[in-house]
Structure 1
Amino acid sequence: MSDGARWSAGAVARTLGISPTTLRTWDRRYGLGPRTREEGKHRRYDDGDVATLRRMLELTGQGVSPAAAATMARGGAGPVPDVHDFIRAATQLDSPRLGRLTTELVSALGVIDAWESVLVPFLVELGERAVEEGGGIGVEHVASNALLTVLRRVGDPLEGGRLPALLAAAPDEQHTLPLEALAAALAERGCASRNLGARVPSPALLAALDVLAPRCVVLWAHDHAYARLAPLATIAATSTTLLLGGPGWGRIALPSGVRRVQTLRGCVEEVLTRSGRSA
């Protein structure tokens, strides 16, 4: 087509060999839609929009994550940091570089895609190396602290009514970086939360529930031994929605109405929906 041509969504989908659903998802999730929209008319893509989508297809075909591919297709500055960049910085105990990489990654992809596509694989690989090579605790601590610092800078939205989410680790559970990622992902969407952190005793959690009356409680447990100590039945009996994250809940019979969430994205969507916000 000539310069200035306008493509319908159906024509773009057929030309690129993707489904209209994929096209709509890329528009909604990554902003890869028509750059100009005329009120009262169907959306029309121009040649530049189609070129951006074609580049998105090329990059995802090369194994680049959709979020990173979208950033690069839109002309984002430079490559997005990957797991290998983080591993190199961590093994050198280079905390400042880890902080810069995390800031760059979150700025490019947003918290959810940064966490799911790069940060979780990075943390898993660090843990596997620690088991195989012995030691490695110092490396993991440096990495966790660097990520934590950046995640806590994402923001602190005003609550404006009933608190959407209260976050806490199960009693004696010390692994809480996923909760920090959740708080940051919610903040990125303007949704307030309160994070009680690690090793929250049941009485303290229930007291906070009484004071704050949140719409949702999100409990994290990595270890089954700690998960079984949590007061699930007591929380489930309240008007608060109880969401459970982490692998620790796998062997536990859950009270009616309690939901497990498998991913950061899924948890964010649940909290936004339950608190009356659009996911």
Structure 2
Amino acid sequence: MTYTPRAVAGMLGIAPTTLRTWDQRYGLGPSVRTDGGHRRYEEADIEVLRRMVALTAQGVAASAAAVLARKQPVAPPSGLRTPIDSAEALTAQRGFLAAAKRLDEPAMADLAAKLLVAHGVVAAWDEVFVPALVELGELVAASGQGVEIEHLASGCVLHALRGIPRTSSPGPLSALLSCAPDEQHWLPLEALGAALSEQDRRWGNLGARVPAEALCDAVARLCPQVVLIWAHRQDLALRVPLEDLGTRSGAVIAVAGSGWDGVALPSFVHRPQSLAEAVGLVVDRQ
């Protein structure tokens, strides 16, 4: 399938004149020309241009960006993760935010997937995804606009996290993850699940708005080693039946999220303060 220059410019959120300039100056043109001499872009051409857009949005000079855009990113060997320094994290944040504000879903998805491959879930989540999503949330709160940007960005992060393969190894359920009753913010649970998949641990996620009785029933049926409940507001956290979970199951009970600030927790309840700490809590059980 091929695309006209106008269609490609619309897809990338740039002016047709910019597309023409990049073709003339840097050779980032179409692979196909019709018998009448009309330019037509293939998917591979568009992927190069997406990288060009992302790089220039990060402040890279156009001439240098053109060289980098032509280079197909190479993933590190499976299982190898490299640290992400502050400069690289800031560059990735800016690139992700720029793509989000353009509503460029493919660019966000591509960047998110590459971050996970190169640096792993914990580093990508802490250093890039959370700061970027927080900034978008603050933008919506301040202006009352941009909800579509925030939702699309969250969806791209979710899609990338779900691309981490789950373990096929048999064994007990390492962790059961759940939101508090009427809690709808469950993306952090998906991040924890993806990080556990990297550690070859089996996990389940009950998702958003889990009634107290349903949570207790699921714990009794699945017998997980760790149960972790997420809440971002205190009124939601207070509806979680922690005492019942503690007496009716042999699982380690943990809570996470800002909703637990100021809540008096039973002595048996753990409260990890970071994604890495939550992963360690589960991994240390085996």
TM-score past 0.5 threshold: yes
Which residue, out of 83, 87, 90, partners 1:67?
83
Question: Equivalent residue for 1:263?
Answer: 274
Residue 201 of structure 2 is matched in structure 1 by 191
Q: Which one of the candidate residues 191, 214, 222 is aligned to 1:212? A: 222
- 3-state SS of the aligned residue for 2:262? coil
Letter paired with 2:107? R
Contact (CA 8 Å) 1:202, 1:230: kept in 2 or not? Answer: yes
What's 1:131 paired with?
141
Contact 1:167 1:219 in 2 (8 A): yes
Q: 2:262 aligns with which of 240, 251, 255?
A: 251
**Paired residues of 2:193 and 2:203 also in contact (CA < 8 A):** yes
Q: 2:131 aligns with which of 99, 121, 131?
A: 121
Task: Identify unmatched segments of 5+ residues in structure 2.
Answer: 1-81
Instruction: Specify the code of the residue in structure 2 equivalent to 1:251.
Output: G
- Is the Cα–Cα contact under 8 Å of residues 68 and 80 in structure 1 kept in the other structure? no
CA offsets, 1:229-258, max 9 Å, x none? 111111122311011110001121111210
Task: Summarize deviations over 1:172-219 as a string: whole Å, max 9, x none.
Answer: 000000000000000011111000100111111111101100000010
Two-structure CA RMSD over aligned residues (Å): 1.8
Residue identity in the other structure for 2:103: L
Partner of 1:85: 95
Q: Which amino acid aligns with 2:272?
A: V
| Aligned twin of 2:182 | 172
- Return the alpha-carbon distance in structure 1 between the equivalents of residues 103 and 83 of structure 2: 28
In structure 2, C-alpha distance between the alignment counterparts of 1:242 and 1:159, rounded to whole Å = 24
Segments ≥4 residues shifted beyond 4 Å: none
TM-score by length of 1: 0.70
- How far residue 93 of structure 1 moved from its aligned partner, in angstroms, is 1.0
**Taking every aligned residue pair, what percent have the same amino acid on both sides?**
42
Contact in 1 for aligned 2:231/2:258 (Cα 8 Å): yes
TM-score (norm 2): 0.68
Secondary structure of the equivalent of 1:82?
A: helix
Q: Distance in 2 between matches of 1:268 and 1:129?
A: 30
Structure with higher Rg: it is 2
Task: Say which of 203, 209, 212 aligns to 2:213.
Answer: 203
2:284 alignment partner in structure 1: 273
Where 1:190 maps in the other structure, the secondary structure is: coil
Conserved? CA contact 1:81–1:105, under 8 Å: no
Q: Which runs of 5+ in 1 are unaligned?
A: 1-65, 73-78
